[in-house]
Amino acid sequence: MSTVKEGKTAAITAYFTIVGALIAMSMNAEQKNEFARFHTRQAFGLHLLFIAFGILSSNWGNLYSFFGLMLCYSILWFYGFFGALSEKYQSLPVLGPYFQKWFTFIS
Q: pTM for the full model?
A: 0.86
- Return the number of other C-beta atoms located less than 10 Å from residue 95's C-beta: 15
Taking only the tens place, the pLDDT of each residue in 2-32 is: 588 888 899 999 999 889 989 988 888 887 8
Q: Is 2 exposed, middle or buried (0-12, 13-18, 19+ CB in 10 A)?
A: exposed
Question: Does residue 65 carry a pLDDT above 80?
Answer: no
Tell me the average pLDDT across 34-50: 92
Q: Where are the domains of the chain?
A: 2-102
Quick one: which of 11, 7, 10 has its CA closest to 33? 7
Give CA–CA dist 73/71, Å, rounded. 5
Name the residue type at position 54.
Answer: G
- Res 56: pLDDT: 79
Residue 39: CB atoms within 10 A of its CB come to 30
CA distances from 39 to 3, 6, 67, 68, 70 (A): 13, 13, 25, 24, 20
